[in-house]
Amino acid sequence: MAGIYIHIPFCQSRCIYCDFYSTLHLDKREAYVEQLCREMLERKDELLTRARAYNTLYVGGGTPSTLPPSLLQKVLLRTAEIFPLATDAEVTVEANPDDVTSEWIAMLKDTPVNRVSMGTQTFNDQLLHFLNRRHNSQQAERAVSMLQDAGFTNLSIDLIYGIPGQTRQIWEQDVRKAISLRTPHLSAYSLMYEEGTPITRLRDKGQIEEMDEDTSLWCYEHLCQQLSEAGFQHYEISNFALPGFHSRHNSSYWEGLPYLGFGAGAHSYDGKDVRRWNESDLLGYIAHGACYETEQLTETDLYNEHVMTRLRTHQGIDLQHLLLRFGQSCHDYLLEQAKPHLLQGNLQKTGQSLHLTRGGIFVSNQVMSDLFM
């Protein structure tokens, strides 16, 4: 199993909370795609010895749908030409709701894409405006139904909770609306105040207030409860899916499978102990091609990463697998470190699985760091 990730770093405007690598240089889109195709060709054999066909392709950003439809189609078709995709490959493209037009959907129909992920974030227009999202709730609803009418059943939407001004009532409406759209996958994130973002500056100047912790916890609890009643499996801390619709691409990251990343800022992993990433520098990438940094992961890095990624999932850490992969001393260390959290009810041991409880999810960062070496 192996996957491909393609980074399209363009956005038409910047959301006030975002610290992802993206740029407003839309005039560079064609030159970027040229370089992207070159990079894919140059690196096409990097994983080939193990991956005869790729199981997932994910085009993310930035906002891939800011590419003109013909250019996005070129990326998708060229990728599928260079990298053989399995017949049942999951092929996802991220989109902003207001880019989803009938022309865009028609273009998508002529590509291998079978999954669309949309950053809806909230269905409250005032909050969307505050976040500097460029769509409104009506456009989001319309985008979902247009895609469904065109036969795209595997859709995912994102929600954010913890937005200043987002009351419990607004969040209840967001969750209700999300469920009513009948998309089989939903990701929900707590708003983060990342350094250097406009929203953090507003908070630091006292112009907005963070949502209090009780309300934030209530929002997450409410979401978990409502989605569970609607038949969704809570398969990762931030991800929920109806049976059969979990994100195979993201799951492969949590399972430590190899993937190739292309484009400025994209990461790759060989599935063993080497991670590489391209510099987040659009102009440098276009002018000189990919410039990689490489990290050789130590056994400690790999153990820590295993603990962190597995603990985020519903299945948790498979203790037998951990024993075989990292040895007796790591296994014993983990169980020793886990003891206080087992006693406090943050962790639970079920058979050979060590996993977070619902309460443990709220303190997951602390639990993980206590289990790290």
Which one of 18-26, 68-76, 199-207, 349-357 is the stretch in contact with ligand SF4 (CB under 6 A)? 18-26
The reply on whether position 286 binds ligand SF4 by CB under 6 A is no
Is the separation of the CB atoms in 99 and 72 below 8 Å?
no
Residues 49-68 vs ligand SF4: string with x where CB under 6 A? Answer: ------------xxx-----
CB of 135 vs ligand SF4, minimal distance in Å: 10
Taking CB under 6 A as the rule, does residue 162 contact ligand SF4?
A: no
Nearer to ligand SF4 (CB atom), residue 195 or residue 214: 195
Q: Of the candidates 119, 162, 261, 316, which one interacts with ligand SF4 according to CB under 6 A?
A: 119
Which span sits near ligand SF4 by CB under 6 A: 8-16, 274-282, 308-316, 341-349? 8-16
In this chain, which residue has its C-beta nearest to ligand SF4?
A: 18
CB 188 within 8 A of CB 161: yes
Q: Using the rule CB under 6 A, give the single segment among 7-15, 194-202, 233-241, 345-353 that binds ligand SF4.
A: 7-15
Span 20-49, contacts to ligand SF4 by CB under 6 A: 20, 22
By CB under 6 A, the count of residues binding ligand SF4 is 10
- How many C-beta neighbours within 10 Å does residue 60 have? 20
Q: In what order do the strands lie in the sheet containing 347-350?
A: 317-318, 353-356, 347-350
- Residue in this structure with the two tokens 């999932």, named with its chain if needed: 313
**Which residue bears the tokens 């639970």?**
348
Q: Give the residue with the Cβ less far from ligand SF4, 41 or 192.
A: 192
Q: Does 282 bind ligand SF4 (CB under 6 A)?
A: no
Residue whose CB is less far from ligand SF4, 63 or 251:
63
Please identify, using beta-carbon distances, which residue of 97 and 360 lies nearer to ligand SF4.
Answer: 97
Residues found near ligand SF4 in the complex (CB under 6 A): 11, 14-15, 18, 20, 22, 61-63, 119
